[in-house]
């Protein structure tokens, strides 16, 4: 008896749930040879707004967690990534047209990179902050704090590693994320979102939109409740207009050229989405 294939429809990841696009739209995801693999939801402006609302709601709890706790949570994700290796390898080989060896190497690199960033949760403050020299009986200390809700255009040419490279760094310092996955290679991003949903990551900390970055990114760039914008995967978009829209709402922006080596271990990608809070405290006169 012939088994009937049941193609999967990959949905959005918003607020810890996996809804269809409110528009009802989907698009076909094809493999490297052009054959149909699955459907993915085609996100809309309303979906982007819903994702920002979810990210904002999750910000207080995630940023308020201890750095040690965030590190534990992020490390747990790396463990679960290892457990879903076979699915990631299958998605990467089919969509990117690479060998199983190359796909396994990408999964290895993604796990290693995630662990590297997880290790910085309770260390970045010592590097990004400092005790400032002042003349007087005071301590003056600068402490890095999360910027807030970070919108990310994921690199377009990598199934898993590109996603990890730009989503993990903002999480280290307590930011929440709305990520636009690679339009051609979205499956691993949603599979990773499924991993997050079964880990200790609170719903809304990472939200994933699939579909057209050209359609979705302008709404996030101009959204007044998004605090920062990472254009790592925006080379093919009108990213100058995106930067102008972000400037209108006073966002911090990482330009596309910062995405060239996004997969490298980078402390700069961590500190890019922090704000320095400076505290004065009197010295004891005793």
Q: How far apart are CA 191 and CA 160, in angstroms?
A: 9
HSE, CB side, 13 Å, CA atoms: give it for residue 137: 5
Residue-level pLDDT at 260: 60
pLDDT of 285 strictly over 60 = no
Kindly report the backbone phi and psi dihedral angles of residue 53, in degrees, each rounded to the nearest multiple of 5, phi listed first: -60, -45
Residue-level pLDDT at 259: 64
Q: How far apart are CA 219 and CA 209, in angstroms?
A: 12
Per residue in 91-148, pLDDT (tens digit) is 999 999 999 999 999 999 999 999 999 999 999 887 876 666 777 777 767 778 999 9
Average pLDDT over residues 158-168: 94
Residue-level pLDDT at 47: 98
Residue 115 CA, chain-centre distance (Å), reads 15
Per residue in 178-229, pLDDT (tens digit) is 999 999 999 999 999 999 998 889 999 999 999 999 999 999 999 999 999 9
pLDDT of 246 strictly over 90 = yes
Give the 3-state secondary structure percentages of the chain, helix then strand then coil, rounded to 5: 45, 20, 35
Residue-level pLDDT at 276: 77
Average pLDDT over residues 23-49: 96
Residue-level pLDDT at 262: 63
Per residue in 256-267, pLDDT (tens digit) is 877 667 677 888
**Number of H helices and number of E strands within the chain?**
10, 11
Residue-level pLDDT at 134: 74
* H/E run at residue 62: helix 45-64
Burial of 134 from C-beta contacts in 10 A (0-12 / 13-18 / 19+) = exposed
Which residue in 73, 174, 85 sits closest to 114, CA to CA? 73
- Give the sign of the dihedral formed by CA 238, CA 97, CA 152, CA 261: negative
Residue-level pLDDT at 117: 96
Quickly state the pLDDT bin for 1 (edges 50, 70, 90). Answer: low
Lowest mean pLDDT among 34-43, 117-126, 147-156, 276-285: 276-285
3-state secondary structure 6-50: CCCEECCEECCECCCCCCCCEEEEECCCCCEEEEEECCCHHHHHH
DSSP assigned state of 162: H
pLDDT of 30 strictly over 80 = yes
Q: How far apart are CA 24 and CA 46, in angstroms?
A: 12
Domain locations in the chain as residue ranges: 11-282
Question: Angle at Cα 114 formed by Cα 69 and Cα 98, nearest 5°?
Answer: 155
Mean pLDDT score of the chain, rounded to an integer?
91
Quickly state the pLDDT bin for 277 (edges 50, 70, 90). Answer: confident
pLDDT of 175 strictly over 90 = yes
- Domain spanning 11-282, CATH class: alpha beta
Lowest mean pLDDT among 26-30, 98-102, 238-242: 238-242
Residue-level pLDDT at 144: 82
Cα-atom radius of gyration of the chain, to the nearest Å?
20
What string of DSSP letters covers 169-228?
HHHHTT-EEEEE--SSS-HHHHHHHHHHHTTTPPTTSEEEE-S-HHHHHHHHHT-TT--E
Q: 72 or 276: which carries more pLDDT confidence?
A: 72
* Paired sense of beta strands 36-41 and 149-153, if any: unpaired
pLDDT of 41 strictly over 90 = yes
Q: How far apart are CA 4 and CA 133, in angstroms?
A: 71
Q: How far apart are CA 174 and CA 145, in angstroms?
A: 8
Query: What are the strands of the beta sheet with 36-41, ordered from one edge?
Result: 9-10, 36-41, 26-30
């Amino acid at each position: 008896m012939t088994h009937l294939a049941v193609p999967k429809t990959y949905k959005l990841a918003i607020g810890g749930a996996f809804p269809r696009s409110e528009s009802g739209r989907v698009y076909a995801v094809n493999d490297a040879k052009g054959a149909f693999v699955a459907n993915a939801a085609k996100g809309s402006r309303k979906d982007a707004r819903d994702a920002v609302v979810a990210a904002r709601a999750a910000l207080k709890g995630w940023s308020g967690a201890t750095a040690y706790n965030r590190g534990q949570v992020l490390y747990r994700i790396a463990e679960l990534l290892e457990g879903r290796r076979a699915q990631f390898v299958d998605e990467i080989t089919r969509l990117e047209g690479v060998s199983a060896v190359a796909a396994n190497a990408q999964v290895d690199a993604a796990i290693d990179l995630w662990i590297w960033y997880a290790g910085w949760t309770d260390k970045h403050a010592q590097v990004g902050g400092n005790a400032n020299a002042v003349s007087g009986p005071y301590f003056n200390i600068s402490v890095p704090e999360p910027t807030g809700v970070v919108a990310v255009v994921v690199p377009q040419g990598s199934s898993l590693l590109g996603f990890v490279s730009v989503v993990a760094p903002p999480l280290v310092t307590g930011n929440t994320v709305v990520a636009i996955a690679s339009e051609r290679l979205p499956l691993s991003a949603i599979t990773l979102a499924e991993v997050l949903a079964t880990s200790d990551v609170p719903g809304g900390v990472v939200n994933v939109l699939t579909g057209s970055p050209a359609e979705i990114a302008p709404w996030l760039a101009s959204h007044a409740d998004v605090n920062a914008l990472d254009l790592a995967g925006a080379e093919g978009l009108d990213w100058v207009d995106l930067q102008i829209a972000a400037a209108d709402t006073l966002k911090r922006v990482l330009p596309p050229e910062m995405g060239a080596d996004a997969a490298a271990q980078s402390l700069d990608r961590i500190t890019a989405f922090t704000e320095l809070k400076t505290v004065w405290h009197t010295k004891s006169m005793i």
